Protein backbone atom coordinates (compact mmCIF):
# COMPACT_ATOMS: atom_id res chain seq x y z
CA UNK A 1 0.00 0.00 0.00
CA UNK A 2 1.46 3.36 -0.96
CA UNK A 3 0.89 6.62 0.89
CA UNK A 4 -1.43 7.67 -1.94
CA UNK A 5 -3.80 4.84 -0.95
CA UNK A 6 -4.06 5.81 2.72
CA UNK A 7 -7.65 6.82 3.06
CA UNK A 8 -10.23 6.66 5.74
CA UNK A 9 -9.41 8.95 8.58
CA UNK A 10 -8.95 12.45 9.86
CA UNK A 11 -6.98 13.20 13.00
CA UNK A 12 -6.68 16.74 14.34
CA UNK A 13 -4.80 18.13 17.32
CA UNK A 14 -5.57 21.58 18.72
CA UNK A 15 -3.61 23.23 21.53
CA UNK A 16 -5.10 26.43 22.97
CA UNK A 17 -5.75 28.05 26.34
CA UNK A 18 -3.96 25.47 28.47
CA UNK A 19 -5.78 22.56 26.85
CA UNK A 20 -4.78 20.12 24.14
CA UNK A 21 -7.29 17.92 22.34
CA UNK A 22 -6.94 15.25 19.70
CA UNK A 23 -10.03 14.48 17.63
CA UNK A 24 -10.51 11.57 15.26
CA UNK A 25 -13.39 10.64 13.01
CA UNK A 26 -14.89 7.17 13.12
CA UNK A 27 -14.96 6.11 9.48
CA UNK A 28 -13.09 3.06 8.25
CA UNK A 29 -13.14 2.67 4.48
CA UNK A 30 -12.07 -0.14 2.23
CA UNK A 31 -11.81 1.35 -1.22
CA UNK A 32 -15.11 3.09 -1.82
CA UNK A 33 -17.00 1.17 0.86
CA UNK A 34 -17.54 2.33 4.43
CA UNK A 35 -16.78 -0.69 6.61
CA UNK A 36 -17.35 0.95 9.98
CA UNK A 37 -18.59 4.38 11.05
CA UNK A 38 -17.66 4.36 14.75
CA UNK A 39 -14.01 3.32 14.96
CA UNK A 40 -11.93 4.77 17.80
CA UNK A 41 -8.69 6.20 16.38
CA UNK A 42 -7.78 8.31 19.40
CA UNK A 43 -6.28 6.79 22.55
CA UNK A 44 -4.90 7.69 25.96
CA UNK A 45 -1.45 6.37 26.84
CA UNK A 46 0.93 6.53 29.79
CA UNK A 47 -1.79 6.51 32.41
CA UNK A 48 -3.72 9.28 30.64
CA UNK A 49 -0.79 11.72 30.49
CA UNK A 50 -0.42 11.30 26.71
CA UNK A 51 -3.05 11.32 23.98
CA UNK A 52 -2.53 9.90 20.52
CA UNK A 53 -4.43 9.73 17.24
CA UNK A 54 -3.49 7.51 14.32
CA UNK A 55 -4.11 7.34 10.60
CA UNK A 56 -3.24 4.53 8.24
CA UNK A 57 -3.49 0.78 8.43
CA UNK A 58 -5.22 -0.15 11.69
CA UNK A 59 -3.09 -3.16 12.60
CA UNK A 60 0.03 -1.14 11.86
CA UNK A 61 -1.20 1.70 14.04
CA UNK A 62 -1.93 -0.65 16.96
CA UNK A 63 1.54 -2.13 16.66
CA UNK A 64 3.02 1.37 16.79
CA UNK A 65 0.82 2.36 19.74
CA UNK A 66 2.13 -0.65 21.69
CA UNK A 67 5.71 0.30 20.83
CA UNK A 68 5.09 3.92 21.82
CA UNK A 69 3.59 2.81 25.13
CA UNK A 70 6.75 0.78 25.82
CA UNK A 71 8.95 3.78 24.96
CA UNK A 72 6.89 5.98 27.28
CA UNK A 73 7.46 3.47 30.08
CA UNK A 74 11.17 3.46 29.30
CA UNK A 75 11.33 7.30 29.18
CA UNK A 76 8.61 8.53 31.56
CA UNK A 77 7.69 12.22 31.29
CA UNK A 78 9.92 12.50 28.19
CA UNK A 79 7.48 12.46 25.28
CA UNK A 80 9.94 13.81 22.73
CA UNK A 81 12.62 11.28 23.68
CA UNK A 82 10.14 8.40 23.57
CA UNK A 83 8.90 9.51 20.13
CA UNK A 84 12.42 9.93 18.75
CA UNK A 85 13.34 6.44 19.97
CA UNK A 86 10.17 5.02 18.38
CA UNK A 87 10.93 6.84 15.12
CA UNK A 88 14.46 5.40 15.09
CA UNK A 89 13.09 1.89 15.55
CA UNK A 90 10.34 2.48 13.00
CA UNK A 91 12.86 3.66 10.42
CA UNK A 92 15.53 1.01 10.98
CA UNK A 93 13.73 -2.16 12.08
CA UNK A 94 13.06 -4.47 9.13
CA UNK A 95 9.51 -5.33 10.34
CA UNK A 96 8.51 -1.88 11.58
CA UNK A 97 9.62 0.01 8.49
CA UNK A 98 6.91 -1.80 6.51
CA UNK A 99 4.19 -0.35 8.75
CA UNK A 100 2.10 2.32 7.11
CA UNK A 101 0.62 4.77 9.56
CA UNK A 102 1.07 8.25 10.98
CA UNK A 103 0.45 9.46 14.51
CA UNK A 104 -0.13 12.69 16.35
CA UNK A 105 1.01 12.44 19.97
CA UNK A 106 0.57 15.09 22.66
CA UNK A 107 1.07 15.67 26.35
CA UNK A 108 0.57 18.81 28.43
CA UNK A 109 3.69 20.44 26.90
CA UNK A 110 4.38 19.00 23.45
CA UNK A 111 2.61 17.99 20.26
CA UNK A 112 4.44 15.76 17.79
CA UNK A 113 3.66 14.18 14.42
CA UNK A 114 5.39 10.84 13.78
CA UNK A 115 5.82 9.20 10.38
CA UNK A 116 7.38 6.02 9.05
CA UNK A 117 10.06 8.11 7.35
CA UNK A 118 11.61 8.73 10.75
CA UNK A 119 10.03 12.16 11.14
CA UNK A 120 9.26 13.56 14.57
CA UNK A 121 7.78 16.95 13.76
CA UNK A 122 6.58 19.68 16.10
CA UNK A 123 3.76 21.47 14.29
CA UNK A 124 3.45 25.25 14.31
CA UNK A 125 0.54 27.35 15.44
CA UNK A 126 -0.91 24.90 17.95
CA UNK A 127 -2.59 22.66 15.35
CA UNK A 128 -1.73 19.49 13.43
CA UNK A 129 -3.73 17.30 11.08
CA UNK A 130 -3.09 13.93 9.44
CA UNK A 131 -5.03 11.47 7.34
CA UNK A 132 -7.06 11.88 4.19
CA UNK A 133 -9.08 14.76 5.66
CA UNK A 134 -6.23 16.10 7.77
CA UNK A 135 -5.45 19.10 5.58
CA UNK A 136 -9.10 20.16 5.51
CA UNK A 137 -9.38 19.96 9.29
CA UNK A 138 -6.00 21.66 9.71
CA UNK A 139 -6.99 24.59 7.49
CA UNK A 140 -10.30 25.01 9.29
CA UNK A 141 -8.65 24.83 12.73
CA UNK A 142 -6.03 27.40 11.75
CA UNK A 143 -8.77 29.77 10.62
CA UNK A 144 -10.55 29.35 13.98
CA UNK A 145 -7.50 29.71 16.25
CA UNK A 146 -7.79 33.49 16.62
CA UNK A 147 -11.48 33.36 17.57
CA UNK A 148 -12.83 33.14 21.11
CA UNK A 149 -13.43 29.41 20.69
CA UNK A 150 -11.61 26.94 22.94
CA UNK A 151 -9.50 24.00 21.76
CA UNK A 152 -12.35 21.49 21.90
CA UNK A 153 -14.81 23.78 20.11
CA UNK A 154 -12.25 24.43 17.37
CA UNK A 155 -11.58 20.70 16.98
CA UNK A 156 -15.29 19.88 16.73
CA UNK A 157 -15.97 22.61 14.17
CA UNK A 158 -12.89 21.81 12.10
CA UNK A 159 -13.71 18.10 12.08
CA UNK A 160 -17.26 18.87 10.95
CA UNK A 161 -15.87 20.95 8.08
CA UNK A 162 -13.51 18.13 7.09
CA UNK A 163 -16.40 15.62 7.20
CA UNK A 164 -18.37 17.85 4.83
CA UNK A 165 -15.49 17.91 2.32
CA UNK A 166 -13.63 14.57 2.55
CA UNK A 167 -15.52 11.42 1.53
CA UNK A 168 -13.19 9.34 3.76
CA UNK A 169 -14.14 11.31 6.89
CA UNK A 170 -17.37 11.20 8.87
CA UNK A 171 -18.90 13.22 11.70
CA UNK A 172 -18.62 10.46 14.34
CA UNK A 173 -15.85 12.24 16.24
CA UNK A 174 -14.02 10.98 19.32
CA UNK A 175 -12.10 13.57 21.34
CA UNK A 176 -9.49 13.05 24.04
CA UNK A 177 -8.23 16.00 26.08
CA UNK A 178 -5.53 17.04 28.50
CA UNK A 179 -5.38 20.24 30.53
CA UNK A 180 -7.59 23.02 31.75
CA UNK A 181 -10.19 24.98 29.84
Q: Which residues are catalytic?
A: 9
Q: What angle do CA 99, 102, 104 make, to 5 degrees?
A: 145
Dihedral sign for Cα atoms in the order 99, 28, 141, 164: positive
Residue 118: DSSP 8-state: S
Q: For the chain, count helices (H), then strands (E).
A: 4, 11
Percent helix, strand and coil across the chain, each to the nearest 5: 35, 30, 35
Q: Round the CA-based radius of gyration of the chain to a whole number and report it.
A: 15
Neighbours of 36 (CB within 10 A): 14
Dihedral sign for Cα atoms in the order 93, 97, 98, 101: positive
Q: What is the helix (H) or strand (E) element at residue 135, kind and residue range?
A: helix 134-144
Amino acid sequence: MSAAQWHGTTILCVRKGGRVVIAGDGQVSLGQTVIKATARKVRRLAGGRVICGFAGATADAFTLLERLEAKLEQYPAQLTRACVELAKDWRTDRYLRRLEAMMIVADKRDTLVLTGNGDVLEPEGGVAGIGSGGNYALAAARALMDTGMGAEEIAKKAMAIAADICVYTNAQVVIERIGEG
